[in-house]
Amino acid sequence: MTTLTSSGVWAALQALARTERDIQLRERFVSDTARFAHFSLQEEGLLLDYSKQRVSTEVMDALRALWQVAHVPRQIAAMWSGEPINHTEGRAVLHIALRHQGEAAIRVAGQDVMPDVRRVLAKMRSFCADVHGGHWRGATGQAIRRVVNIGIGGSDLGPRMAAQALSAFRQTGIEVEFVANLDAADLATVLARCTPDDTLFIIASKTFTTQETMQNAHSARQWLVAALGEAAVARHFVAVSTNHAAVSAFGINPDNTFEFWDWVGGRFSLWSAIGLPLALAVGMDHFEQLLAGAYAMDQHFFSAPVERNLPATLALLEVWNTNFLGAQSRALLPYSQSLGLLPRYLQQLEMESNGKQVDRAGNALQCDSSPVLWGEPGTNGQHAFYQQIHQGGRVIPCEFLAVIEPDYALPGHHEKLLAHCFAQSEALMRGKTLAEAQAELGIAVSPAPTCEKAGSLAPYKVFPGNQPSTTLLLPKLTPYTLGQLLALYEHKVFVLGALWNINSFDQWGVEYGKQLASRLLPILEGRTPAEGLDSSTAGLIAAVQSIRV
The yes-or-no answer on residue 87 being catalytic is no
- Catalytic annotation, pick one of 20, 288, 318, 352: 352
Q: Write the DSSP string, 201-233.
A: EEEE-SSS--HHHHHHHHHHHHHHHHHH-GGGH
**φ/ψ (deg, to 5) at 260:** -140, -175
Nearest to 467 by CA among 354, 307, 315, 333: 333
3-state DSSP helix/strand/coil % of the chain, to nearest 5: 55, 10, 30
Contact 265, 88 (CB under 8 A): no
3-state secondary structure of 48: strand
Q: What is the DSSP letter of 412?
A: T
3-state secondary structure of 49: strand
The yes-or-no answer on residue 440 being catalytic is no
Q: Give the Cα separation of 244 and 254 in Å (integer).
A: 6
Handedness of CA 375, 379, 380, 385 (dihedral sign): positive
CB burial readout 141-177, b (16+ within 10 A) else e: eebbbbbbbbbbbbbbbbbbbbbbbbeebbbeebebb
The yes-or-no answer on residue 453 being catalytic is no
- What Å distances lie between residue 264 and 210, 274, 435, 512, CA to CA? 17, 11, 56, 21
- Catalytic annotation, pick one of 87, 135, 383, 413: 383
- Catalytic annotation, pick one of 38, 416, 476, 514: 514
The DSSP H or E segment spanning 372 is: strand 372-375
- Who contacts 203 (Cβ-Cβ below 8 Å, separation ≥6)? 150, 151, 213, 214, 217, 237, 238, 239, 240, 241, 247, 250, 252
| Catalytically active residues, by annotation | 352, 383, 514
